[in-house]
A and B are shown apart, each in its own frame.
Chain A
Amino acid sequence: MTKTFAVTRRHVVAAAAALGLAAGTALPAAAQDPIKIGLIASLSGPSAKSGEAITRGILLAMDEINAEGGVLGRPLELVARDDENNPGKGITAARELINREGAVVIFGGLQTPVSLALVPYINQTKVPFMGPWAAGTPITKNGAAENYMFRVSAVDEMVDVALVERAATLHGATKPGLVLINNPWGESNEKGIMAALEAKGMENAGVETIEANDVDVVPQLTRLKDAGADALFLVANVGPSAQVMKSLERMGWDVPVVSHWGPAGGRFSELGGPRAKDVEMIQTFTFSGNDSPKAAATLEALKKKFPEIQSAADVTPAVGIANAYDAMHLTALAIENAGSTDGPAIRQGFYDIDSYEGLIKTYETPFTPEDQDALGPEDYVFTRFIDGEIIPID
């Protein structure tokens, strides 16, 4: 007397779903169900701090939005995934967030390749992507007819033009050298800087790469010095940038250093030694020397929400927090404009934003189908690290 069990695929898939693996079919959302925002970023490993900054910016904005009643009457919820800096993991996480968690917008990608890897999938599934960090040009300019990639961050090509411009006009450089971290970000800026140099008809003294764990970069710098470099472009994160400054100090080489925003991490003064203050770096935002009431209020809110933040110096990297904060608010507006969580509608919602008073600036029609970058060269400011604070300079 045995009873036959008809095991169907549905059973198995359901079992797998119960185990937390399968695609949960999106059930019609109840009114109070939160709207899920996905985040794919490096939350562990060497870039963890930047991942944390983005997370904090998003969470701060979400708190404000949810305190005002949420979006479409529903609260926002952040679902974060660690991509371990690996595009493969990023692709997997995007599928998981969209298919299983039902995320309606994906934030993320510290490293350009992770964001680039997501482009085909995002445009195919029509779930908008918002980049608060990775600056690779082709992320937003990807040539898709229906482009779902948006960004509130710097764009390497434009940053590179600004860096070259500053070195040439302010420092009178004619033959600058490039010091680049050996990762996708460094490589992408090599192209950008070379193009900008060429556009200005300038020479270069060579390209040297440094590894994230290089202790001593004197050999690389010596090559540039011997090649006659009269200024250095620096594209690297806090740690390696600090090693460059320490090596320059040892060599006693007094050369202007114009940098991408990498050193903005909070401990650069501590790590980079006496020369740290000489680095001129580009930023989209600083709390220090920023007299806008919005900046002050946001800093207060941050201190309240994250007790380990005690001063502006602890808000690091500030650009990550500011970009993510504004990006989250813009995304909320887009969803509100769309009136639903449907991807194409949200995309249209981004185009429909006409004005938003943000932390970085007041955005006027930040996104158009031709330009899905909310920030441009006019928003870049040059800064220096002085006694642990990032101070804007001329």
Chain B
Amino acid sequence: MARTYALRAGLARVLHHPLTAPAAVILLTAATLWLAAGAGGYLVFILALAAINVIVGVGLNVLLGLSGQISFGHIGFYVIGAYAAGILMLAGLPYWGAFLAAGAIAAAVGGLLALPALRVSGPYLAMVTIAFAFIVEHGTIEWRDLTGGQNGLMGFPSPEAFGRMFFETEMALLATAIAGLSLLFYLRLRAGRWGLAMRAVSDSEVAARSIGLNPVAVKTAAFILSALLTGFAGALFTPLQGFISPSSFPFFQSILFLLAVVVGGTGTLFGPVVGVLVTVMLPEFLSSLAEYRLLFFGGLLLGVLLAAPRGVMGTLARLAATEDPTPARPSGRPLAEIIGGARATALEVTGLGIAFGGVQAAENVAFTAPPGKVTAIIGPNGAGKTTALNMIGGFYQPDAGSIRLGRELAGAPAHEVARAGIARTYQTTQLFDHLSVIDNVLIAMKKGRLGFLLGPRPGKADRQVAEDLLGVVGYRGPLAREARALPHVDRRLVEIARALATRPDVILLDEPAAGLSQADKESLAGLLTRLAEAGLVVILVEHDMDLVMGISDAVVVLDAGRPLMTGTPAEVQTSPAVRRAYLGEADFEGRPRPAPFERRREAVVATTRLSAGYGAAPVLEAVEVEVDPGEMVAVLGANGAGKSTMMRAVAGLHRPVEGTIVLADRDITALKAHAIAGAGLALVPEGRQVFPEMSVRDNILMGAYRRRDLKPGPEIDALLKRFPRLADRIDQRAGVLSGGEQQMLAVARGLIARPRILLLDEPSLGLAPAMVRELYDALADLRDEGVTILLVDQMATLALAIADRGYVLENGEVVTSGTTEALKGDPAIEAAYLGIAG
């Protein structure tokens, strides 16, 4: 066992050594050259074709693998390269000039195509490229004077160099050499800043802009490079074949180009090489099948796709994947020194306003945020906080007002705002998911100034800065971990480190505490204070009042898009206007049962030794939970304790699980979610998950999907009486509802199913306190009416206030359980969890 590990680690060290990949490329190229030099005849011709296809594949890999854009139209660039070379050769230009010109022309067309292509994505982009391919094809057919029409061009003079005519062997050597060079080019590009930028843009354009990257420039560069390589490949095809015509370049070839990349493994270095074995070599093996060749080719292709759904190299890489565990080694420099510079500018916002489709989302927002201070923006849901941040960050163009950081920034695009010194984080973290933690930070460091295309990897000094920043924010995990594999807390921290890497003057933080545990919130508070101490303008949008009141120097209160007041935390807290608008009346405690509850032990839902996990890591271990008829049971625990996983497992969203889950005497352990719903269990999921494009009424009716005896009129009326807020909104799209309204809707959608048991996962998450109160009153009503409820909520005091019993989860195991009265007195829980009460 240990030996296997050591072997794997050793293998990983070899595979990840910076010289391994170039050495492999050079060896492969040398071997192919040696083979081609002696092969002759048919084999050398096939090798040449394969090498040409590898070049196209590398070009496509730049586009697809790095910048994440698909193209079905690369045959168009190939045709342009082939014809440009052919026409210029016939016009008497030496081959080498024609070759370079062909690449340049293809690249220029690539830049032109990028203009429409960048406006669209997904299937729309696919179609633009398909249309491009067909336009080029018909262009070669119709522009007869230039292209020779359907009957094509021939009679090209042989290329010449070193006094030697280039026939097929020489062309094969040349193509192989260029294919090798293109692989090295890809390697260098991918490792350098431009490659990182392309991958970053591919993962999240929004975040890329906020670190100063201009996605249009980065994606255009990918298009141009991709077209350049493909044009070169076309220019090699012409003298090799000696004849080109429109039928030499069927559209199907374009699909084969793309296929080579995805079959080989998108984004992997050798993917195109492996892919070409399938798209160029395989048909040759099958040539004796004559008319049945395409049939078998299609079948084999499907087989390869099914066997290696991530592409051959991608699948292999996964098998050999190991992660370098080295964490950041911060030098301990203070933050001010790491990000350098003297910061004395304040951010001044005046008269800022924006309307969406006639609705004034923000109006006359004004504040001055001085350096070295934390300025908080608070307000109830829908108050326009994030809208304000989006205007400051350049994602929305304000209709009115001014944003000054030394100079006017209102209306500037996001990447320019970032370059001017404003960095930000997002409500839902926007990391570059396929980049490592350290690369996420490194790419932000140049604020989009990427330098020379094949410029070097970020150097030692940059890496040290990145590690220092990760140290400052408190990230302790491996530097090499892919961002998508990070737990929630670390995502927040890395995102802050990335924002700091742009060495900003201002940092905008959008609900950084959402979803963090109490302990994590405390360290976050410390971090934010340190950011201010380092001289930054810190602007914080946050729901967590303890955090806001604890660290802010000034608080701006927004209500319905307008500023309500600005003041110190103490002033805001004591302002009756703010209290009314925002905090509601007195602190809310949750309404207990009017009369004691009599428990009948005939479980509606019971789990026995329920275990579940993601991959190898168990998240739930042998959990035993029981809910009896009419009972309201709360599940408590810190973040990551497994509460949500348990809810998802019971509802059937998480499969497979071990142990058993019984719903009203029926074993539902193996059932899927829709079948469990049909059996009488309704989960109101975390994050509400209403159907945004459907009306409120249709949303509610969807809840009754499995019911045959629905009386829509009276039943909806009854629900609207329970949730009066929804009545006004009944015919609006659910997507425009506020968070609180959506939560009410989600509960209503669960209730109309008339379930045996209602599961609620984090119903209060992200809601303003007034809304939480309204919701919890409704839940208490349901409880009093005898609905069986299993509840998970972050706000433990609330949950305990209205529930009859509770279970406490820690690291996926039930550590204690009992009546809520008993649990409230349990000091261990008090310490671990209930500290947030208040």
Instruction: Identify the A interface with B (CB < 8 A).
Output: 9-10, 12-13, 16, 19-23, 43-44, 48, 51-52, 79-82, 84-88, 91-93, 95-96, 98-100, 111-114, 116-117, 119-121, 136, 182-184, 186-188
Q: Is the CB–CB distance between A48 and B150 below 8 Å? A: no
**Could you say which of A44, A91, A121, A182 contacts B293, with CB atoms under 8 Å apart?**
A44
Say whether B43 contacts A93, CB under 8 Å: no
Given contacts A87-B248, A113-B248, contact A186 B150 (CB under 8 A): yes
Residues of the A chain whose Cβ atoms lie less than 8 Å from the Cβ of B41: 22-23, 95, 99-100
Write out the residue numbers on chain B whose beta carbons fall within 8 Å of the beta carbon of A85.
247, 250
Alpha-carbon separation in the docked complex, A85 to B290 (Å)? 13
**Is the CB–CB distance between A183 and B150 below 8 Å?**
yes
Q: Which B residues from 139 to 173 make CB contacts under 8 A with A?
A: 141, 144, 149-152, 154-155
CB-CB under 8 A for A187 and B151, given A92-B45, A99-B42, A117-B243? yes
Bound-state Cα–Cα, A9 to B34, Å: 8
Expressed in whole angstroms, the Cα–Cα distance for A73 and B141 within the complex equals: 48
Asked whether A96 lies within 8 Å of B284 as measured between CB atoms, the reply is yes
CA distance A186 to B249 in the complex (A): 18
A113 to B149: give the CA distance in the assembly, Å. 11
Q: Which 4 A-B pairs have the closest CB atoms?
A: A43-B291, A23-B41, A117-B243, A99-B41
Distance, CA A44 to CA B289, complexed state (A): 11
Contact among A9, A82, A112 for B290, CB-based, below 8 A: A82
A21: chain B residues at CB < 8 Å are 42-43, 46, 281, 284-285
A116 with B243: CB separation less than 8 A: yes
Which residues of A lie under 8 Å from residue B248 when comparing CB positions?
A: 86-88, 113, 117
Cβ of A50 to closest chain B Cβ, rounded Å: 12
Q: How far is the CB of A353 from chain B (nearest CB, A)?
A: 29
Shortest beta-carbon distance, B173 to chain A, in Å?
A: 14
Chain B stretch 220-250: residues in CB contact (< 8 A) with chain A: 237, 241-245, 247-250
Cross-interface CB contact of B49 among A44, A92, A120, cutoff 8 Å: A92
Most buried by A among B46, B247, B248, B288: B247
The answer on a CB contact under 8 Å between B243 and A120 is yes
Q: How far is the CA of A48 from the CA of B290 in the complex (A)?
A: 11
A187 and B150 contact, CB distance less than 8 A: yes
| A92 and B284 in contact, given A22-B39, A44-B291, A187-B150 (Cβ under 8 angstroms) | yes
Which of the listed residues A86, A111, A119 has the most CB atoms from chain B within 10 Å of its own CB?
A86
Contacts A85-B247, A113-B150, A182-B141 known; A92 to B46 CB distance under 8 Å? yes
For A96, list chain B residues within 8 Å (CB): 42, 284, 287
For A79, the chain B residues whose CB sits under 8 A away are 288
B38 at the interface (CB under 8 A from A): yes
Chain B positions 30 through 66: 1 when the CB is less than 8 Å from some CB of chain A, otherwise 0: 0000110111111101100100000000000000000
**Bound CA–CA A13/B42 (angstroms):** 12
Majority SS at the chain B contact face: helix
Residue of B nearest to A138 (CB): B151
Which residues of chain A have C-beta atoms less than 8 A from B287's C-beta?
Answer: 81-82, 93, 96
Partner of A121, one of B151, B242, B294: B242
Given contacts A20-B285, A21-B46, 13 further A-B contacts (CB under 8 A): A13-B38, A23-B42, A79-B288, A80-B291, A82-B290, A82-B294, A87-B247, A92-B45, A95-B45, A116-B243, A117-B241, A182-B141, A184-B151
Proximity bits, B259-288, A CB within 8 Å = 1, else 0: 000000000000000000000010011011
- Do A120 and B154 form a contact, CB below 8 Å, given A23-B42, A184-B245? yes
CA distance in complex: A220, B515 (Å): 67
Question: How many angstroms from the CA of A52 to the CA of B293 in the assembled complex?
Answer: 15
Who on chain A is nearest to B138 by CB? A182
Chain B hits for A121, CB < 8 A = 242
Contact indicator B291/A188 (Cβ below 8 Å): no
Cα distance A96–B281 in the bound complex, in angstroms: 13
B503 CB to nearest A CB, Å? 54
A91→B150 CA distance, assembly (Å): 17
Give the most central of A10, A80, A88, A184: most B CB within 10 Å: A88
The answer to whether B43 touches A13, judged by C-beta atoms less than 8 angstroms apart, is yes
A191–B254 Cα distance when bound, in Å, is: 31
Of the residues B39, B150, B243, contact of A13 by C-beta under 8 Å: B39
What residues on A are CB-neighbors of B290 within 8 Å?
43, 80-82
Interface centre among A48, A87, A111, A116 (most CB of B within 10 A): A87
Distance, CA A52 to CA B292, complexed state (A): 13
Contacts of B42 in A (CB 8 A): 21-23, 92, 95-96, 98-100
Q: How far is the CA of A116 from the CA of B244 in the complex (A)?
A: 10
Residues of A within 8 A of B39 (CB): 13, 16, 22-23
Distance in Å: Cβ of A7 to nearest Cβ of chain B: 10
How close is B42's CB to chain A, nearest CB, in angstroms? 4
Counting chain A CB atoms within 10 Å of each CB, the highest count among B149, B151, B294, B295 belongs to B151
How far is A190 from B293 in the complex, measured between Cα atoms in Å? 34
Q: Give B242's nearest chain A residue, CB to CB.
A: A120
**A9–B491 alpha-carbon span in the complex (Å):** 53
B-side contacts of A84, CB under 8 Å: 250, 294
Asked if A183 contacts B294 (CB within 8 A), the reply is: no
Cα A43 to Cα B291 with chains together (Å): 5
User: In whole angstroms, what is the CA distance A10 to B291 when docked?
Assistant: 33
Question: Is A91 in contact with B241, judged by CB distance below 8 angstroms?
Answer: yes
Distance in Å: Cβ of B151 to nearest Cβ of chain A: 5
Shortest A101–chain B CB gap in Å is: 9
Between A79, A96, A136, the greatest number of chain B beta carbons within 10 A of the residue's beta carbon is seen for A96
Roughly how many angstroms separate A12 CA and B39 CA in the complex, as a whole number?
9
How far, in whole Å, are A79 and B237 apart by their CA atoms in the complex?
A: 27
Q: A16-B43, A96-B284, A113-B151 are in contact. Are A86 and B250 (CB under 8 A)?
A: yes
Task: Tell me the nearest residue of chain B to A143, going by C-beta.
Answer: B155
List A contacts of B152 (CB < 8 A).
87, 113, 116-117, 184
A113 and B247 alpha carbons, distance in the complex (Å): 8
Find the A residue at minimum CB distance from B49: A92
Least Cβ distance of A70 to chain B in Å? 22
Chain B residues, Cβ within 8 Å of A9: 34-35, 37-38
Q: Which A residue's beta carbon lies closest to that of B283?
A: A89
Asked whether A82 lies within 8 Å of B293 as measured between CB atoms, the reply is yes
In the complex, what residues of A have CB within 8 A of residue B291's CB? 43-44, 48, 51-52, 80, 82
* Separation of A116 and B35 alpha carbons in the complex (Å): 30
CA distance in complex: A345, B457 (Å): 64
- In this complex, the member of B35, B42, B46, B149 whose beta carbon has the largest number of chain A beta carbons within 10 angstroms is B42
Q: How far is the CA of A92 from the CA of B243 in the complex (A)?
A: 12
21 contacts between A and B (CB under 8 A): A20-B285, A21-B46, A21-B284, A22-B43, A23-B39, A23-B40, A80-B290, A85-B250, A86-B247, A86-B250, A87-B247, A88-B237, A91-B243, A92-B49, A112-B151, A113-B247, A116-B151, A116-B152, A182-B141, A184-B151, A187-B150
Contact B245 A87 (CB under 8 A): yes
B136 to chain A, nearest CB (A): 16
Contact B151 A136 (CB under 8 A): yes
Cα(A182)–Cα(B152), bound, Å: 14
The answer to whether B285 and A19 touch across the interface, beta carbons within 8 angstroms, is: yes
A117 touches B242 (CB 8 A): yes
B459 to chain A, nearest CB (A): 41
Q: Tell me the bound Cα distance from A16 to B285 in angstroms.
A: 11
Q: How far apart are the CA atoms of A80 and B288 in the complex, in Å? A: 7
A188 to B149, CA, bound (A): 10
**Shortest CB–CB separation between residue B144 and chain A, in angstroms?**
8
Q: Which single residue of chain A is at the shortest CB-CB distance from B42?
A: A99
Report the bound CA distance from A82 to B297 in whole Å.
13
In the complex, the chain B residue whose C-beta lies closest to that of A88 is B248
Residue of B nearest to A45 (CB): B294
A43 surroundings in chain B (CB, below 8 A) = 290-291
B285: which A residues are within 8 A, CB to CB? 19-21
B545-582 toward A: CB 8 Å interface, digit per residue (1/0)? 00000000000000000000000000000000000000
Q: Quote the shortest CB–CB distance from B244 to chain A (angstroms).
A: 8
CB distance from A39 to the nearest CB of B (A): 8
Give the residue of A23, A88, A183, A187 whose beta carbon is less than 8 angstroms from that of B43.
A23
Closest Cβ of chain B to A376, distance in Å, is 22
